[in-house]
Amino acid sequence: MAFANLPSPHPHLLSHTPTQKVLVIDDVDMNATLIASVIRSLCEVQIAHSGEEGLRLALQYNPDLILLDVMMPSMDGFEVFQQLKKDSRTAHISVIFLTALSDPSSEELGLNLGAADFIAKPFRTPVLLARVRNHLELARQRRMLERMSHIDGLTGIANRRYFNVALPREFSRMQRHNLPLALLMIDVDDFKAFNDHYGHLKGDECLQTVAQTIAESLHRAADMVARYGGEEFVCLLPETDWEGAIKVAQDIQHRITRLQLQNDKAQAADILTVSIGVAAARASEIHSCQDLLAMADERLYRAKNSGRNRIVATNAG
């Protein structure tokens, strides 16, 4: 009986370390361009020439760090900072204030508001580079910890916590663009009997193998598989209709069967098999992402109760 070794986090979660991004907000183009030229060796840089433009770019660009000039017309740096922190989509971004003000109270105000750092103008290039480098490293570590908190420790794929974030996000996108969204609920057949017969160590290895096999069946970066609980897995397939979802389900089922993992206690076969519930819909057809989840779960239930080792993709009746 062949099993996979303990897996590394699956590429769908930790495929690469993305280039870090910095947003420079300064109304003086010469200053912004100079700063960008200095730090471009460390990161990708975008420039905004006003507070209002900076707020828009922060949402679009999702930078790791913002360098924010204090003295700007219309909306100064402190106002921009407060707006950033009010918005849950930008509140996590570290901000370094840039200022020519020599008044210590300005620095105190910025730090009390929650700024990560203060850099005085005119800046020294080595100091600017060092501080940006340090804060980018802190941002990288925070993002890594966040990603690790979304990974199932046993299988190396996404966990339920991550799925619970990803599903409503994809459903919202589906609503905005009227795109199809599909879910597969997958359960390892007779896993309790397998676990009791072969032992928990082999049971864990079995789940690792199944998880990696499912992950290898998903060929698009946007597709994801998560461990939903115990021996149950869920696949989230954006922009996938009913027929496309069935094809993915069939591929997963065939791959699991080809593993030929012995399961003498199985009811459906003497090898390890899976049952799959398939659901796919557009926004006009369902009210919420929970409707889609309930649909897939109900179909999985019917697959389990009609003999196991099968795919159910239609309503009862």
Same domain, 217 and 302: yes
What's residue 8's pLDDT? Answer: 43
174: pLDDT strictly greater than 70: yes
Supply the CATH number for residue 101's domain: 3.40.50.2300
**Domain end: 147, 169, 203, which one?**
147
The alpha carbon of 237 is separated from its chain's Cα centroid by a whole number of angstroms, namely 14
Reading the block at residue 31, the tokens are 């200053």
With tokens 């499912």, the residue in question is: 214
pLDDT tens across 8-18, in order?
445 444 444 57
Domain interval for residue 75? 13-147
Same domain, 156 and 133: no
Q: Quick check: is 49 in a domain?
A: yes
| Catalytic annotation present for 232 | no
Confidence of residue 6 (pLDDT cuts 50, 70, 90): very low
Supply the CATH number for residue 196's domain: 3.30.70.270
pLDDT tens across 235-292, in order?
999 999 999 999 999 999 999 999 999 988 777 678 999 999 999 998 788 889 999 9
Same domain, 100 and 243: no
What's residue 128's pLDDT? Answer: 95
**Domain end: 147, 179, 207, which one?**
147
**Once rounded to an integer, what is the mean pLDDT over residues 26-30?**
95
pTM higher than 0.75: no
Average pLDDT, the chain: 89
Same domain, 162 and 249: yes
- The number of folded domains in the chain is 2
**Domain end: 112, 147, 182, which one?**
147
**Once rounded to an integer, what is the mean pLDDT over residues 71-75?**
91
> Coil, strand, or helix at residue 4?
coil
147: pLDDT strictly greater than 80: no
Same domain, 176 and 204: yes
Say which of 170, 205, 231, 232 is annotated catalytic: 231
CB burial string 243-282: b at 16+ within 10 A, e below: eebbebbeebbeebeebebebeebebeebbbbbbbbbbbe
Closest CA to 235 of 260, 262, 256: 256
Confidence of residue 316 (pLDDT cuts 50, 70, 90): low
